[in-house]
Chains A and B, each alone.
Chain A
Amino acid sequence: MSGILNSSIGRKFAMALSAFFLMFFLLQHFVINLLSVISPETFNEVSYFMGNNPFVQFLLQPVLLIGVLFHFIMGFVLEIKNRKARQISYAKNNGGANSSWMSRNMIWSGGAILLFMIFHFNDFWVPEIVEKYVEGKSQLGKDFHHHVVEMFLDPLRVGVYVLAFVFLALHLLHGFDSAFQSVGANNKYTKGLKTFGKLYAILVPLGFVFIALYHHFFHIH
Protein backbone atom coordinates (compact mmCIF):
# COMPACT_ATOMS: atom_id res chain seq x y z
CA MET A 1 0.00 0.00 0.00
CA SER A 2 3.02 2.27 0.56
CA GLY A 3 3.41 5.24 -1.71
CA ILE A 4 0.23 4.58 -3.66
CA LEU A 5 -0.01 8.30 -4.44
CA ASN A 6 3.36 8.08 -6.14
CA SER A 7 2.00 5.84 -8.85
CA SER A 8 -0.08 6.98 -11.80
CA ILE A 9 -2.83 4.47 -11.02
CA GLY A 10 -2.84 5.35 -7.32
CA ARG A 11 -3.32 9.03 -8.15
CA LYS A 12 -6.10 8.06 -10.51
CA PHE A 13 -7.85 6.16 -7.73
CA ALA A 14 -7.47 9.06 -5.33
CA MET A 15 -8.86 11.46 -7.92
CA ALA A 16 -11.84 9.16 -8.46
CA LEU A 17 -12.52 8.63 -4.76
CA SER A 18 -12.49 12.36 -4.07
CA ALA A 19 -14.77 12.80 -7.09
CA PHE A 20 -17.28 10.27 -5.73
CA PHE A 21 -17.27 12.08 -2.44
CA LEU A 22 -17.79 15.46 -4.10
CA MET A 23 -20.56 14.17 -6.33
CA PHE A 24 -22.34 12.77 -3.32
CA PHE A 25 -21.92 16.06 -1.49
CA LEU A 26 -23.24 17.97 -4.49
CA LEU A 27 -26.40 15.90 -4.50
CA GLN A 28 -26.88 16.50 -0.79
CA HIS A 29 -26.32 20.24 -1.30
CA PHE A 30 -28.85 20.21 -4.11
CA VAL A 31 -31.53 18.48 -2.03
CA ILE A 32 -31.12 21.05 0.75
CA ASN A 33 -31.23 23.94 -1.73
CA LEU A 34 -34.38 22.55 -3.23
CA LEU A 35 -36.01 22.88 0.18
CA SER A 36 -35.55 26.65 -0.08
CA VAL A 37 -38.03 26.52 -2.95
CA ILE A 38 -40.40 23.95 -1.49
CA SER A 39 -40.51 24.96 2.16
CA PRO A 40 -38.63 27.96 3.59
CA GLU A 41 -39.27 26.73 7.17
CA THR A 42 -37.75 23.30 6.58
CA PHE A 43 -34.89 24.97 4.73
CA ASN A 44 -34.21 27.15 7.76
CA GLU A 45 -34.31 24.16 10.09
CA VAL A 46 -31.99 22.05 7.97
CA SER A 47 -29.61 24.99 7.46
CA TYR A 48 -29.44 25.53 11.18
CA PHE A 49 -28.75 21.85 11.73
CA MET A 50 -25.99 21.72 9.09
CA GLY A 51 -24.38 24.87 10.48
CA ASN A 52 -24.53 23.96 14.13
CA ASN A 53 -24.42 20.20 14.52
CA PRO A 54 -20.95 19.36 15.86
CA PHE A 55 -20.70 16.17 13.80
CA VAL A 56 -21.39 18.08 10.58
CA GLN A 57 -19.30 21.10 11.58
CA PHE A 58 -16.22 19.46 13.01
CA LEU A 59 -16.09 16.16 11.16
CA LEU A 60 -17.93 16.31 7.83
CA GLN A 61 -17.01 19.93 7.05
CA PRO A 62 -13.24 19.48 7.44
CA VAL A 63 -13.39 16.20 5.46
CA LEU A 64 -15.24 18.04 2.71
CA LEU A 65 -12.73 20.89 2.66
CA ILE A 66 -9.87 18.41 2.44
CA GLY A 67 -11.70 16.54 -0.34
CA VAL A 68 -12.23 19.73 -2.31
CA LEU A 69 -8.65 20.93 -1.85
CA PHE A 70 -7.24 17.53 -2.71
CA HIS A 71 -9.27 17.25 -5.90
CA PHE A 72 -8.16 20.71 -7.06
CA ILE A 73 -4.52 20.38 -6.13
CA MET A 74 -4.19 16.89 -7.58
CA GLY A 75 -5.96 18.07 -10.73
CA PHE A 76 -3.37 20.79 -11.23
CA VAL A 77 -0.45 18.51 -10.33
CA LEU A 78 -1.62 15.94 -12.91
CA GLU A 79 -2.05 18.64 -15.54
CA ILE A 80 1.54 19.80 -15.04
CA LYS A 81 2.86 16.24 -15.13
CA ASN A 82 0.87 15.48 -18.26
CA ARG A 83 2.15 18.55 -20.02
CA LYS A 84 5.68 17.45 -19.21
CA ALA A 85 4.94 14.07 -20.77
CA ARG A 86 4.77 15.78 -24.19
CA GLN A 87 7.19 18.65 -24.45
CA ILE A 88 6.84 19.26 -28.18
CA SER A 89 3.24 19.54 -29.25
CA TYR A 90 1.82 18.54 -32.60
CA ALA A 91 1.70 21.08 -35.41
CA LYS A 92 -1.72 19.66 -36.22
CA ASN A 93 -3.82 17.79 -33.71
CA ASN A 94 -7.37 16.63 -34.35
CA GLY A 95 -8.52 15.87 -30.81
CA GLY A 96 -12.18 16.13 -31.78
CA ALA A 97 -11.81 13.02 -33.94
CA ASN A 98 -11.41 10.69 -31.00
CA SER A 99 -12.53 12.28 -27.75
CA SER A 100 -15.09 14.67 -26.34
CA TRP A 101 -14.40 18.35 -25.74
CA MET A 102 -15.34 17.82 -22.08
CA SER A 103 -12.78 15.09 -21.58
CA ARG A 104 -9.99 17.20 -23.07
CA ASN A 105 -10.80 20.33 -21.09
CA MET A 106 -11.32 19.13 -17.54
CA ILE A 107 -8.61 21.51 -16.37
CA TRP A 108 -10.51 24.52 -17.75
CA SER A 109 -13.94 23.47 -16.52
CA GLY A 110 -12.30 22.58 -13.19
CA GLY A 111 -10.48 25.93 -13.06
CA ALA A 112 -13.73 27.78 -13.71
CA ILE A 113 -15.38 25.84 -10.88
CA LEU A 114 -12.49 26.78 -8.58
CA LEU A 115 -12.99 30.48 -9.33
CA PHE A 116 -16.68 30.08 -8.72
CA MET A 117 -16.06 28.31 -5.41
CA ILE A 118 -14.03 31.26 -4.17
CA PHE A 119 -16.89 33.57 -5.11
CA HIS A 120 -19.48 31.24 -3.58
CA PHE A 121 -17.55 30.75 -0.32
CA ASN A 122 -17.26 34.47 -0.05
CA ASP A 123 -21.03 34.79 -0.51
CA PHE A 124 -22.19 32.26 2.02
CA TRP A 125 -19.57 30.27 3.86
CA VAL A 126 -17.15 32.97 5.02
CA PRO A 127 -19.83 35.33 6.43
CA GLU A 128 -21.38 32.43 8.30
CA ILE A 129 -18.10 31.22 9.77
CA VAL A 130 -17.31 34.80 10.86
CA GLU A 131 -20.72 35.19 12.40
CA LYS A 132 -20.51 31.92 14.30
CA TYR A 133 -16.92 31.62 15.34
CA VAL A 134 -15.55 35.18 15.30
CA GLU A 135 -18.50 37.23 16.43
CA GLY A 136 -19.87 34.30 18.42
CA LYS A 137 -23.47 35.05 17.49
CA SER A 138 -26.09 32.36 17.95
CA GLN A 139 -27.84 31.32 14.76
CA LEU A 140 -30.92 30.16 16.58
CA GLY A 141 -33.99 31.41 14.74
CA LYS A 142 -31.92 32.89 11.90
CA ASP A 143 -33.78 33.33 8.59
CA PHE A 144 -31.33 31.61 6.21
CA HIS A 145 -33.98 31.62 3.52
CA HIS A 146 -34.22 35.41 3.58
CA HIS A 147 -30.44 35.66 3.15
CA VAL A 148 -30.57 33.38 0.09
CA VAL A 149 -33.39 35.35 -1.52
CA GLU A 150 -31.53 38.62 -0.92
CA MET A 151 -28.35 37.28 -2.48
CA PHE A 152 -30.15 36.22 -5.62
CA LEU A 153 -31.78 39.61 -6.18
CA ASP A 154 -28.55 40.68 -7.87
CA PRO A 155 -28.76 39.70 -11.56
CA LEU A 156 -24.98 39.74 -11.90
CA ARG A 157 -24.63 37.16 -9.15
CA VAL A 158 -27.33 35.00 -10.76
CA GLY A 159 -25.41 35.21 -14.03
CA VAL A 160 -22.20 34.07 -12.39
CA TYR A 161 -23.97 31.15 -10.74
CA VAL A 162 -25.67 30.04 -13.95
CA LEU A 163 -22.39 30.19 -15.86
CA ALA A 164 -20.62 28.23 -13.14
CA PHE A 165 -23.22 25.49 -13.35
CA VAL A 166 -22.68 25.23 -17.10
CA PHE A 167 -19.01 24.54 -16.37
CA LEU A 168 -20.00 22.10 -13.64
CA ALA A 169 -22.23 20.20 -16.08
CA LEU A 170 -19.39 20.05 -18.62
CA HIS A 171 -17.02 18.80 -15.91
CA LEU A 172 -19.48 16.15 -14.74
CA LEU A 173 -20.35 14.98 -18.24
CA HIS A 174 -16.87 13.52 -18.42
CA GLY A 175 -16.11 13.20 -14.73
CA PHE A 176 -18.94 10.92 -13.71
CA ASP A 177 -18.12 7.91 -15.94
CA SER A 178 -14.45 8.72 -15.71
CA ALA A 179 -14.46 8.18 -11.95
CA PHE A 180 -16.07 4.77 -12.38
CA GLN A 181 -13.61 3.76 -15.09
CA SER A 182 -10.75 4.82 -12.80
CA VAL A 183 -11.78 2.50 -10.00
CA GLY A 184 -11.94 -0.35 -12.47
CA ALA A 185 -15.65 -0.49 -13.23
CA ASN A 186 -16.03 -1.34 -16.89
CA ASN A 187 -18.46 -4.18 -17.30
CA LYS A 188 -22.01 -4.99 -18.31
CA TYR A 189 -23.41 -2.33 -16.00
CA THR A 190 -21.28 0.43 -17.51
CA LYS A 191 -23.81 1.36 -20.18
CA GLY A 192 -26.58 1.97 -17.67
CA LEU A 193 -24.14 3.82 -15.45
CA LYS A 194 -23.16 6.09 -18.34
CA THR A 195 -26.77 7.01 -19.00
CA PHE A 196 -27.28 7.68 -15.32
CA GLY A 197 -24.08 9.76 -15.31
CA LYS A 198 -25.30 11.91 -18.20
CA LEU A 199 -28.61 12.49 -16.41
CA TYR A 200 -26.83 13.38 -13.18
CA ALA A 201 -24.43 15.71 -14.99
CA ILE A 202 -27.23 17.62 -16.65
CA LEU A 203 -30.10 17.48 -14.17
CA VAL A 204 -28.22 18.39 -10.99
CA PRO A 205 -26.61 21.59 -12.38
CA LEU A 206 -29.89 22.42 -14.12
CA GLY A 207 -31.64 22.04 -10.78
CA PHE A 208 -29.22 24.49 -9.16
CA VAL A 209 -29.79 26.93 -12.01
CA PHE A 210 -33.54 26.58 -11.54
CA ILE A 211 -33.24 27.38 -7.82
CA ALA A 212 -31.12 30.48 -8.47
CA LEU A 213 -33.52 31.73 -11.14
CA TYR A 214 -36.54 30.95 -8.99
CA HIS A 215 -35.28 33.10 -6.15
CA HIS A 216 -34.30 35.86 -8.54
CA PHE A 217 -37.65 36.10 -10.27
CA PHE A 218 -40.07 35.16 -7.53
CA HIS A 219 -38.15 36.44 -4.44
CA ILE A 220 -40.84 35.18 -2.09
CA HIS A 221 -40.10 36.06 1.52
Chain B
Amino acid sequence: MNLTLKIWRQKNANDKGKMVDYQISDVSPDMSFLEMLDVLNEQLINKGDDPVAFDHDCREGICGMCSLYINGEAHGPDRGVTTCQLHMRMFNDGDTIYIEPFRASAFPVVKDLIVDRSAFDRIQHAGGFISVNTSGNTIDANAIPVEKHNADKAFEAATCIGCGACVATCKNSSAMLFVGAKVSQFALLPQGQVEATDRVLNMVKQMDEEGFGNCTNTGACEVECPKGISLENIARMNQEYLKASLKG
Protein backbone atom coordinates (compact mmCIF):
# COMPACT_ATOMS: atom_id res chain seq x y z
CA MET B 1 0.00 0.00 0.00
CA ASN B 2 1.09 3.56 -0.62
CA LEU B 3 -0.03 6.11 1.90
CA THR B 4 0.12 9.81 2.65
CA LEU B 5 0.71 10.50 6.33
CA LYS B 6 -0.07 13.84 7.93
CA ILE B 7 1.84 13.80 11.20
CA TRP B 8 2.02 16.34 14.02
CA ARG B 9 5.62 17.43 14.50
CA GLN B 10 6.63 19.45 17.53
CA LYS B 11 10.26 19.75 18.64
CA ASN B 12 9.55 20.17 22.34
CA ALA B 13 6.93 21.28 24.83
CA ASN B 14 7.42 24.96 23.95
CA ASP B 15 7.52 24.62 20.18
CA LYS B 16 4.35 25.58 18.33
CA GLY B 17 4.25 22.45 16.22
CA LYS B 18 2.59 21.73 12.88
CA MET B 19 1.24 18.96 10.66
CA VAL B 20 3.83 17.64 8.20
CA ASP B 21 3.13 15.43 5.15
CA TYR B 22 5.07 12.22 4.48
CA GLN B 23 4.76 9.67 1.70
CA ILE B 24 5.30 6.02 2.51
CA SER B 25 5.24 3.14 0.04
CA ASP B 26 5.14 -0.66 0.15
CA VAL B 27 3.33 -0.85 3.45
CA SER B 28 2.20 -4.41 4.14
CA PRO B 29 -1.42 -4.80 5.31
CA ASP B 30 -0.12 -7.21 7.96
CA MET B 31 2.02 -4.55 9.65
CA SER B 32 0.83 -3.03 12.87
CA PHE B 33 0.39 0.72 12.84
CA LEU B 34 3.49 1.18 14.98
CA GLU B 35 5.54 -1.03 12.66
CA MET B 36 4.48 1.20 9.80
CA LEU B 37 5.78 4.18 11.80
CA ASP B 38 9.01 2.26 12.47
CA VAL B 39 9.50 1.91 8.73
CA LEU B 40 8.84 5.60 8.25
CA ASN B 41 11.36 6.43 10.98
CA GLU B 42 14.01 4.23 9.39
CA GLN B 43 13.56 6.16 6.16
CA LEU B 44 13.78 9.46 8.01
CA ILE B 45 16.93 8.41 9.86
CA ASN B 46 18.54 7.24 6.61
CA LYS B 47 17.85 10.66 5.14
CA GLY B 48 19.35 12.29 8.21
CA ASP B 49 15.99 13.64 9.44
CA ASP B 50 14.65 13.59 12.96
CA PRO B 51 12.47 10.46 13.45
CA VAL B 52 8.89 10.87 14.64
CA ALA B 53 8.73 10.42 18.41
CA PHE B 54 5.85 8.24 19.62
CA ASP B 55 5.14 6.29 22.79
CA HIS B 56 5.08 2.49 22.95
CA ASP B 57 6.24 -0.30 25.18
CA CYS B 58 4.62 -3.75 25.26
CA ARG B 59 3.22 -3.67 21.72
CA GLU B 60 0.70 -6.27 22.76
CA GLY B 61 -2.14 -4.13 24.04
CA ILE B 62 -1.53 -4.36 27.76
CA CYS B 63 0.69 -1.50 28.90
CA GLY B 64 -1.31 1.48 27.69
CA MET B 65 1.75 3.41 26.46
CA CYS B 66 0.95 3.68 22.77
CA SER B 67 -1.48 6.49 22.11
CA LEU B 68 -2.10 8.45 18.89
CA TYR B 69 -5.20 10.06 17.44
CA ILE B 70 -5.52 8.42 14.05
CA ASN B 71 -7.91 9.78 11.42
CA GLY B 72 -9.93 11.52 14.09
CA GLU B 73 -10.19 8.63 16.55
CA ALA B 74 -8.16 7.57 19.56
CA HIS B 75 -6.18 4.42 18.66
CA GLY B 76 -7.59 4.65 15.14
CA PRO B 77 -10.68 3.27 13.43
CA ASP B 78 -10.65 -0.27 14.90
CA ARG B 79 -12.62 -1.11 18.07
CA GLY B 80 -11.34 -2.65 21.29
CA VAL B 81 -7.68 -2.29 20.35
CA THR B 82 -4.75 -0.08 21.16
CA THR B 83 -2.64 1.49 18.41
CA CYS B 84 -0.03 -1.28 18.71
CA GLN B 85 -2.75 -3.81 17.83
CA LEU B 86 -4.17 -1.75 14.99
CA HIS B 87 -3.27 -3.26 11.65
CA MET B 88 -2.66 -1.57 8.34
CA ARG B 89 -5.35 -3.74 6.75
CA MET B 90 -7.83 -1.32 8.31
CA PHE B 91 -6.65 1.20 5.67
CA ASN B 92 -6.71 1.26 1.89
CA ASP B 93 -4.06 1.90 -0.70
CA GLY B 94 -3.83 5.62 -1.45
CA ASP B 95 -5.34 6.69 1.90
CA THR B 96 -4.34 9.86 3.69
CA ILE B 97 -3.92 9.22 7.39
CA TYR B 98 -3.89 11.96 10.03
CA ILE B 99 -1.71 11.12 13.03
CA GLU B 100 -1.95 13.46 16.00
CA PRO B 101 -1.04 13.31 19.67
CA PHE B 102 -3.77 12.81 22.30
CA ARG B 103 -5.03 16.35 22.91
CA ALA B 104 -5.95 17.69 26.33
CA SER B 105 -4.60 20.56 28.40
CA ALA B 106 -3.91 17.98 31.11
CA PHE B 107 -1.83 15.91 28.64
CA PRO B 108 0.78 18.40 27.37
CA VAL B 109 2.83 17.40 24.33
CA VAL B 110 6.43 16.49 25.18
CA LYS B 111 7.62 15.91 21.63
CA ASP B 112 5.83 15.09 18.36
CA LEU B 113 3.26 12.45 19.27
CA ILE B 114 4.37 11.89 22.86
CA VAL B 115 2.23 13.42 25.58
CA ASP B 116 2.77 13.58 29.31
CA ARG B 117 0.08 11.46 30.98
CA SER B 118 1.49 11.73 34.50
CA ALA B 119 -1.76 13.46 35.53
CA PHE B 120 -3.19 9.92 35.63
CA ASP B 121 -0.41 8.81 37.99
CA ARG B 122 -1.17 11.69 40.32
CA ILE B 123 -4.85 10.75 40.37
CA GLN B 124 -3.84 7.19 41.26
CA HIS B 125 -1.55 8.45 44.02
CA ALA B 126 -4.48 10.40 45.45
CA GLY B 127 -6.44 7.24 46.23
CA GLY B 128 -6.26 4.52 43.60
CA PHE B 129 -4.98 1.88 46.01
CA ILE B 130 -5.83 0.00 49.19
CA SER B 131 -3.62 0.17 52.25
CA VAL B 132 -2.65 -3.35 53.24
CA ASN B 133 -1.42 -4.11 56.73
CA THR B 134 1.73 -6.15 56.26
CA SER B 135 2.39 -6.79 59.93
CA GLY B 136 2.12 -10.54 59.48
CA ASN B 137 -1.54 -11.08 60.21
CA THR B 138 -2.81 -10.04 56.76
CA ILE B 139 -5.88 -12.01 55.70
CA ASP B 140 -5.40 -13.90 52.48
CA ALA B 141 -7.53 -12.15 49.82
CA ASN B 142 -8.88 -15.52 48.66
CA ALA B 143 -10.33 -16.13 52.12
CA ILE B 144 -12.64 -13.11 51.85
CA PRO B 145 -15.90 -14.04 50.12
CA VAL B 146 -16.87 -11.75 47.22
CA GLU B 147 -20.12 -12.00 45.33
CA LYS B 148 -19.41 -13.34 41.85
CA HIS B 149 -21.25 -10.53 40.09
CA ASN B 150 -19.22 -7.90 41.96
CA ALA B 151 -15.98 -9.78 41.44
CA ASP B 152 -16.61 -9.82 37.68
CA LYS B 153 -17.46 -6.13 37.58
CA ALA B 154 -14.40 -5.25 39.66
CA PHE B 155 -12.25 -7.32 37.33
CA GLU B 156 -13.68 -5.62 34.26
CA ALA B 157 -12.97 -2.20 35.79
CA ALA B 158 -9.45 -3.31 36.67
CA THR B 159 -8.65 -4.05 33.02
CA CYS B 160 -8.25 -0.30 32.40
CA ILE B 161 -4.69 0.20 31.21
CA GLY B 162 -4.61 3.94 31.82
CA CYS B 163 -3.97 4.73 28.17
CA GLY B 164 -5.88 8.01 28.16
CA ALA B 165 -7.91 7.29 25.01
CA CYS B 166 -11.03 8.22 26.93
CA VAL B 167 -9.67 11.71 27.61
CA ALA B 168 -8.35 12.12 24.08
CA THR B 169 -11.63 11.17 22.50
CA CYS B 170 -13.93 13.07 24.84
CA LYS B 171 -15.07 16.40 23.41
CA ASN B 172 -14.69 17.76 26.96
CA SER B 173 -11.33 16.07 27.68
CA SER B 174 -12.92 14.48 30.71
CA ALA B 175 -11.08 11.74 32.60
CA MET B 176 -14.21 10.30 34.16
CA LEU B 177 -14.03 6.90 32.48
CA PHE B 178 -10.51 6.32 33.76
CA VAL B 179 -11.27 7.58 37.26
CA GLY B 180 -14.62 5.77 37.24
CA ALA B 181 -12.83 2.50 36.48
CA LYS B 182 -10.21 3.07 39.16
CA VAL B 183 -12.81 3.98 41.79
CA SER B 184 -15.10 1.08 40.80
CA GLN B 185 -12.52 -1.64 40.95
CA PHE B 186 -12.20 -1.03 44.70
CA ALA B 187 -15.74 0.13 45.43
CA LEU B 188 -16.99 -3.31 44.42
CA LEU B 189 -14.68 -5.28 46.70
CA PRO B 190 -14.74 -5.65 50.50
CA GLN B 191 -11.08 -4.62 50.70
CA GLY B 192 -11.96 -1.30 49.13
CA GLN B 193 -14.63 -0.31 51.62
CA VAL B 194 -12.34 0.94 54.41
CA GLU B 195 -10.94 3.85 52.43
CA ALA B 196 -13.93 4.29 50.10
CA THR B 197 -14.93 7.79 51.25
CA ASP B 198 -11.49 9.35 51.05
CA ARG B 199 -10.64 7.51 47.87
CA VAL B 200 -13.40 8.91 45.70
CA LEU B 201 -13.20 12.42 47.17
CA ASN B 202 -9.44 12.64 46.75
CA MET B 203 -9.30 11.11 43.31
CA VAL B 204 -12.03 13.37 41.97
CA LYS B 205 -10.38 16.40 43.55
CA GLN B 206 -7.07 15.52 41.90
CA MET B 207 -8.83 14.89 38.58
CA ASP B 208 -10.35 18.38 38.71
CA GLU B 209 -7.07 19.99 39.73
CA GLU B 210 -5.30 18.45 36.75
CA GLY B 211 -7.62 20.42 34.45
CA PHE B 212 -9.64 17.63 32.87
CA GLY B 213 -13.03 18.75 31.56
CA ASN B 214 -16.55 18.00 32.73
CA CYS B 215 -18.29 14.86 31.52
CA THR B 216 -21.48 15.43 29.52
CA ASN B 217 -22.24 11.72 28.98
CA THR B 218 -21.60 11.65 25.24
CA GLY B 219 -20.42 8.07 25.67
CA ALA B 220 -17.55 8.50 23.19
CA CYS B 221 -15.04 7.21 25.77
CA GLU B 222 -16.80 3.88 26.14
CA VAL B 223 -16.77 3.35 22.37
CA GLU B 224 -13.10 4.23 21.96
CA CYS B 225 -11.76 2.53 25.11
CA PRO B 226 -9.52 -0.35 24.02
CA LYS B 227 -10.58 -2.34 27.08
CA GLY B 228 -14.32 -1.83 26.77
CA ILE B 229 -14.64 -0.05 30.12
CA SER B 230 -18.34 0.70 30.51
CA LEU B 231 -20.05 4.00 31.34
CA GLU B 232 -21.57 2.09 34.24
CA ASN B 233 -18.29 2.80 36.03
CA ILE B 234 -18.86 6.55 35.77
CA ALA B 235 -22.38 6.15 37.14
CA ARG B 236 -20.94 4.10 40.03
CA MET B 237 -18.31 6.75 40.73
CA ASN B 238 -21.03 9.42 40.75
CA GLN B 239 -22.95 7.40 43.34
CA GLU B 240 -19.83 6.82 45.39
CA TYR B 241 -19.04 10.50 45.23
CA LEU B 242 -22.49 11.52 46.39
CA LYS B 243 -22.37 9.02 49.26
CA ALA B 244 -18.92 10.24 50.27
CA SER B 245 -19.90 13.94 50.06
CA LEU B 246 -22.90 13.36 52.29
CA LYS B 247 -20.70 11.55 54.81
CA GLY B 248 -17.50 13.61 54.74
Contacts and interface: CB of A to CB of B under 8 A. Distances in A.
A78 B72 contact: no
B108 to A, nearest CB: 10
Interface in A171-208: 174, 177-178, 181-187
Interface in B40-58: none
Contacts of A185: 235
Contacts of B212: 8, 85
A82 B72 CA distance: 19
Interface in B199-224: 204-205, 207-208, 211-220, 223-224
Given A90-B103, A100-B218, A186-B232, A9 B237 contact: yes
B218 A9 contact: no
Nearest to A185: B235
Contact of B213 (A86, A103, A182): A86
Interface residues of B, number: 49
A142 interface: no
A1 B246 contact: yes
B117 to A, nearest CB: 15
B245 interface: yes
B238 A13 contact: yes
A81 B214 contact: yes
A177 B77 CA distance: 27
Contact of A186 (B6, B69, B205, B231): B231
A106 to B, nearest CB: 6
A181 B235 contact: yes
Contacts of A92: 6, 71-72, 98, 100
B231 A91 contact: no
A87 interface: yes
Nearest to A107: B216
Nearest to A186: B235
A82 B171 contact: yes
A187 B104 CA distance: 30
Q: Interface on chain B toward A: helix, strand, loop, or mixed SS?
A: mixed
B239 interface: yes
B234 interface: yes
A104 B218 contact: yes
Given A86-B103, A184-B236, A99 B205 contact: no
A97 B234 CA distance: 21
A133 to B, nearest CB: 38
Interface in A55-100: 78, 81-82, 84-95, 97-100
Contacts of B169: 98
Contacts of A186: 230-232, 234-236
Contacts of B213: 8, 81-82, 84-86
18 contacts: A6-B208, A8-B207, A12-B214, A78-B172, A82-B174, A84-B105, A85-B173, A86-B105, A91-B8, A93-B72, A97-B77, A99-B219, A177-B217, A178-B217, A181-B238, A186-B230, A186-B231, A186-B235
Interface of A: 1, 4, 6-13, 78, 81-82, 84-95, 97-100, 103-104, 106, 174, 177-178, 181-187
Interface of B: 6, 8, 19, 69, 71-73, 77, 98, 100, 103-106, 169, 171-174, 176, 204-205, 207-208, 211-220, 223-224, 230-232, 234-239, 241-242, 245-246
Given A92-B6, A104-B218, 12 more contacts: A82-B216, A91-B6, A91-B8, A91-B98, A92-B72, A94-B71, A106-B216, A174-B218, A181-B234, A184-B238, A186-B236, A187-B235
